[in-house]
Structure 1
Amino acid sequence: MAEVDARWVRLLALGQGPEDADVDDEAASLVQQLQVEAAESVLELALSALSHDDPWHRRAAAWVLGQFGYPEGRPFGARVLPEVLRAARAERDDDVREDLVDALGKAEDVAWLDELLSFAGDPAPGVRRAVAMSVPGMPYAAPPTERALDTLITLSSDPDPRVRDWATFGLGSQWSQDSPAIRAALLARLDDEDPDTAAEALLGLARRGDPAALARVLALIEEPDRLIGLVVLEAAAELADPVLLAALEEIARAWAGDEDEHTEAVAFAIARCDPGAPESARQIEQQIVTAVDERVAGTGWSLALTGTYPRTQLWPRRPDGAVDESLEPGLVWERRAPDESAIDAVVIQGVTTIHEAAARRG
């Protein structure tokens, strides 16, 4: 126990020295160790430090408490979260409040979602960013609530570019949901003055097969002498539309011999945009369903696929024949081209999803 206490003491002592990368790295290492060991003595010290006069002590407490005991499912949540919320509501230091709200989100307890969302209008951009970063990663038992969705849409137009970037990333890539409201929010950021936000908007629209993304990607890859970024190539792969094929092949010829991440990305986009890809995907999907159903035979569960390439979704089907939507759907072709190498990985994904859904239903 003395060793754990010594690490806590060392973490607090770091706040007395200069701020630099080495200090940050050591603090992060100490925090992880304390979270993993989850000693009762450290829990009491961290809870007490939430009301300490020194802001560094309060920040250290927030860092440790957010994921305290995470390898064991955060067993102290009932004691930790009310105190973190109380401290966040009372905190006047913007940096400390940001860390406390971040801790509230990192607890990953959807029961506290509304409390987390209540900080979305905080005057400090860092606090709003903590909300934008946390909301998409919550372990929702069903599609995200309307309030969570509305909050992220609002944050995607925040005055601060880092808040917009994280919210747009959440809407576009971390959530698979599709709706007119989500597409409108992403479309509004397509020409954002912040290039990272604009890139996330393009990628999010491409993942949904939106015509605006197709038109934008085609214009970008057809423009002569233009530098083609990885995000544009990733968006082309997400769209998987044969109309992009000629321009992508021209880029591949121009880059022949480079053998770097850009040439890998354009080769992947070409494979995804091949006119024969949809039929190959359909045949492979049939093999996947057969293989998964064989592996879960006798359980009453089976695999359901909805949609078509490149946006085919994977769902568990319950013994009563209904599709179980208690989990986020798997995306069969996420970061995959339709070839035989995809089968084993997707079969494992399907079996795992079915087991998780069955376990939730007891």
Structure 2
Amino acid sequence: MDLASASALIDRAVADADRRGAAGTGALLDRVAADGATALRLGTRLLSDPGPAARAVGCRLLRRAGGLHEEVRAPAATALLAHLPAEADRTVRRLAVAALGATQDERAVAQLVSLAEDVDPEVREAVARSLASVAPELPGDPEVPALIRLTTDPEPEVRNWATFALGFQLEVDTPAVRAALWARAGDSYHQARAEGVRGLAVRHDPRAVRPLGELLAWSGGDPLTLRAAAVLGAAELLPGLRALDPATPGLAEALASCDPVARAALDRQAWSLVETLQPLLPDAAVSVTSDRFEPGLTLTVGTAHSTLSWSVEPLLARAGGAVGRAAALAAEDVEEDAHLSPPAGSADRA
């Protein structure tokens, strides 16, 4: 899209925002955001506009462009970070925080952490929604204590989003994180309570078993609760899982994970898969692992060319349940990858 056409659309979006707020401007911004370079140029220019409606449109445009174009994210973050400290309008602050989340830029952490103390609950909610997107996920980093503080916010939706970020989006497990999640497991606001329970479950905390069973019954087996059940893998959850509609998406995985007989059978198959695959790839490092925050088992093969991974259950299903066939399929994938990968040092050759 040429600059003149894009500018005309932005002018319409700003005029609409002045008259009616954000409603109706999304389609216009989507058209401009499709061209990342143009969207970046116009969005950053709007940030310096004297009118808050125009600055709000600039933030929304940068958010959309950052979601579509990776190359836009770093310069958009630079512009937003330079603008935010002087922004007095609370709506624009909230939209700028949301746009920073779309950049996935770690440089945003410090400013978002400072805005976790903002007097406006909508800004604090935007911080809770955005922090995990820019966080490097290290226990000692400032976003973790900021999110822990936000889980105690007086506004229910701030607590809800902060608990979701802390419990499900960040894979950080410390006593302080678990204490915050356990506190929310008794929250009077149901959504925040559910996020606390699920966050504990994916950390294999046994305190989650009873409230997760109650959540299964209440929710009818929503996807996040079933995923938490699959990660926790507690046999006590089987009656509640078996009471759900068998066609519920994610139920089969949760049932298999919580059934000790099925889990033992999968463990045996996984080990047999390693033993069968290793002779086929004698120079490779073959292993099976279980991620703390994910359900199921992962087969990993490391070679001089690369490292490949498969989820064990889908690989076995692809092989019709036959371990030998699954090992052969994995070996074929490794050989194909080696054929496609350039030899070491070839990138330097003309």
Contact 2:271 2:288 (8 Å CA) reproduced: no
Shift of 1:34: 2.1
- Residues of 2 paired with 1:69 and 1:307: CA distance? 30
Q: Kindly indicate which of the two structures has a greater share of residues assigned to helix.
A: 2
Higher relative contact order, chain-length normalized (CA < 8 Å, sep 6+): 1
What's the secondary structure of 2:289's corresponding residue?
strand
TM-score when normalising by structure 2 = 0.74
Question: After superposition, what is the alpha-carbon deviation per residue over 1:49-82, rounded to whole angstroms, capped at 9, x for unaligned?
Answer: 223232211100111123536544234734x434
5 Å matches for 1:251-290?
251-252=243-244, 261=248, 268-286=253-271
Which one of the candidate residues 33, 38, 48 is aligned to 2:31?
33
Shift of 1:43: 3.8
- Residues of 2 paired with 1:67 and 1:213: CA distance? 37
- Residues of 2 paired with 1:234 and 1:65: CA distance? 33
- Taking a change above 3 Å as real, the CA distance of residues 178 and 318 of structure 1, as seen in their structure-2 partners, is farther
TM-score when normalising by structure 1 = 0.71
Which one of the candidate residues 82, 85, 96 is aligned to 1:86?
82
Contact 1:109 1:138 (8 Å CA) reproduced: yes
List runs of 5+ in structure 2 lacking aligned partners.
335-346
Which one of the candidate residues 48, 51, 54 is aligned to 1:51?
48
Shift of 1:168: 0.6
What's the secondary structure of 2:20's corresponding residue?
coil
Counterpart of 1:52 in structure 2: which amino acid?
D
- Residues of 1 paired with 2:144 and 2:215: CA distance? 30
Which one of the candidate residues 130, 144, 153 is aligned to 1:149?
144
Shift of 1:294: 10
Contact 1:304 1:317 (8 Å CA) reproduced: no
Shift of 1:260: 6.0
RMSD across aligned C-alpha pairs, in angstroms? Answer: 4.1
- Residues of 2 paired with 1:148 and 1:317: CA distance? 34
- Taking a change above 3 Å as real, the CA distance of residues 164 and 315 of structure 1, as seen in their structure-2 partners, is farther
- Taking a change above 3 Å as real, the CA distance of residues 17 and 164 of structure 1, as seen in their structure-2 partners, is same
Counterpart of 1:56 in structure 2: which amino acid?
A
Question: After superposition, what is the alpha-carbon deviation per residue over 1:205-230, rounded to whole angstroms, capped at 9, x for unaligned?
Answer: 11122111112234667xxxx75543
Q: Aligned pair 1:186/2:188, yes or no?
A: no
- Residues of 1 paired with 2:281 and 2:60: CA distance? 41
Q: 2:289 matched to which residue of 1? A: 305
- Residues of 1 paired with 2:220 and 2:275: CA distance? 39
Q: 2:7 matched to which residue of 1? A: 5
Q: How many pairs does the alignment contain?
A: 319
Counterpart of 1:135 in structure 2: which amino acid?
L
- Residues of 2 paired with 1:296 and 1:120: CA distance? 51
Q: 1:173 matched to which residue of 2? A: 168
Q: Aligned pair 1:14/2:16, yes or no?
A: yes
Shift of 1:4: 2.0
Counterpart of 1:9 in structure 2: which amino acid?
D
- Residues of 2 paired with 1:194 and 1:112: CA distance? 29
Shift of 1:200: 0.9
Q: Aligned pair 1:105/2:101, yes or no?
A: yes
Which one of the candidate residues 179, 189, 201 is aligned to 1:206?
201
List runs of 5+ in structure 1 lacking aligned partners.
325-329, 352-361
5 Å matches for 1:331-346?
340=317
- Taking a change above 3 Å as real, the CA distance of residues 72 and 237 of structure 1, as seen in their structure-2 partners, is closer
Contact 1:277 1:338 (8 Å CA) reproduced: no
Shift of 1:306: 4.7
Contact 1:284 1:338 (8 Å CA) reproduced: no
- Residues of 1 paired with 2:303 and 2:251: CA distance? 42
- Taking a change above 3 Å as real, the CA distance of residues 284 and 126 of structure 1, as seen in their structure-2 partners, is farther
